[in-house]
Chain A
C-alpha cells in the first residue's frame, strides 16, 4: 500500500520526471560498501548543493543521547534537478530518515540511496550504483 500511495502522490503532483542515469564520476564500489547498509534518522544540519555531489549533513542521536554528525553523499545537483529535486528540497532543520551504504574507510560518511522526509515521502537520492 505504501508503494501505491507513493505512486498516487507523485502522479497527483502532476510531475513530469525526466530521469537520467545517476552514476558518479568515481567508482561507487571504491568508496562505499553496498554490503554495509545504513539506516539513520536525524536532523539536517547543513546542505551543500554543489558538484560533483550534493551533500547533506545529519545529526543522529543514539540511545545515550550522543550526537554524531553524518555526511551523506547524493547525486550531482544536475542529476538531482533532472529528477525533480531543487536546491530547496532539503534544508537545515529538516528531520529525515536516510537509507544508504557506508563508506569503506569507516568514516561517518555514507552514500544516500533513499531519503524519507518527515511527512513520509521517500525519494531516490543518489548515485548508488556502478555501471554493469
Chain B
C-alpha cells in the first residue's frame, strides 16, 4: 500500500472539526516508535499532490523585461541562498578555504548561539526558509524579507559609490548595477555577528560580497555570490543557489521575537548539527 498518496490533508483542517466528546485515551505515555502507515506526506514542500519532497512547480515562461529593457526581477521568491551549509552552494567535494582562526571559531560554535535561531537577521549570503520579494524602483532595488527577520535590504543602483567607512551592519552597504540581464550587487560594511548557515561558518568585518542575480527564465533566479573575506578565508570562493518564483504568494507578517522558545532547547556544536 502506498504510504503517501496525497501531500497535505492539512487544508481539510479549515473545515469545522468534529468536537470530541470522549475522555482522552491514555494511549502511550512514553517515547514509542512511530511506525505504521502515514496518511500524509512527511515532507513539507509537496503541495498540490505533486509528490513527496517536491515543492510547488516552478513557473515556466520567458524572462520578463521592463519597458526600458531592464530585466524585471520583481516578484516573490523563495530560496537563493544557504540555509543549512554554504557547502550546498559549492561543487561537490569543494573545500571551504577557512583560515585556521576561522576554523577554530567554526568548530567551537554552539547551535543555541546561532543568531537566526535567536531571531536575528541572516545577513548575506544566508537566506531564511521564507519567501522574500524584490522591488525595483528608479535608483533602488529593495529586497523585502518575510523572515528572519521581518526586514529589508536597500541596494542603490544610481551610480553612487560605497559610503566611506560605513558602520558595520547586518546587511552592509550595497550598491548595484545592471550588467546585461544580470543585477550585480557589491556589499561591504558588514558586522561579524551573523553566521553563514546553521553549521556556523563565520566571517569578519572584512567581508565583501559580490552577488550576481540572473533571472534566466520566468520562474528561475540564479544567485551567484563571491565571498571575499581575508580575515576568515584564505581566498575568495563562489556560491551558487537558485531561487524559485512563488507567483501566488504574498509576504506575511513574521515577528520572530514574539514567541521564540527554540534556542534554550538547542544542544551541541553547530557544525555537527
Contacts and interface: CB of A to CB of B under 8 A. Distances in A.
Interface string B26-64: 111111111001111111111111000001100000000
Contacts of B2: 3
A76 B114 CA distance: 18
* Residue with the greatest number of chain A CB neighbours at <10 A, chosen from B34, B39, B260: B39
Given A17-B47, A21-B45, A25-B256, A31 B265 contact: yes
Given A15-B14, A18-B248, A25-B119, A6 B39 contact: yes
Contacts of A124: 7-10, 40-42, 44
Contact of A2 (B17, B27, B34, B37): B37
Nearest to B25: A41
Contacts of A71: 261
A52 B261 CA distance: 9
Interface residues of A, number: 94
B13 interface: yes
A127 B44 contact: yes
A6 B6 contact: yes
A6 B13 CA distance: 12
B266 A61 contact: no
B259 interface: yes
B230 interface: no
Contacts of A23: 44, 83, 129
Given A52-B119, A80-B10, A19 B34 contact: no
Interface residues of B, number: 84
Contacts of A41: 24-28
Contacts of A48: 259
A85 B10 contact: yes
B117 interface: yes
B78 interface: yes
Contact of B129 (A10, A21, A77, A80): A21
Given A3-B3, A41-B28, A60-B26, A26 B40 contact: no
Contacts of B18: 117-119
B197 to A, nearest CB: 9
Interface in A90-108: 90-91, 93-95, 97, 99-100, 102-105, 107
11 contacts: A6-B39, A7-B6, A10-B8, A16-B48, A25-B119, A41-B26, A51-B255, A89-B13, A93-B20, A128-B42, A130-B84
Q: Which 7 A-B pairs have the closest CB atoms?
A: A19-B47, A84-B11, A22-B44, A30-B111, A62-B29, A23-B129, A15-B11
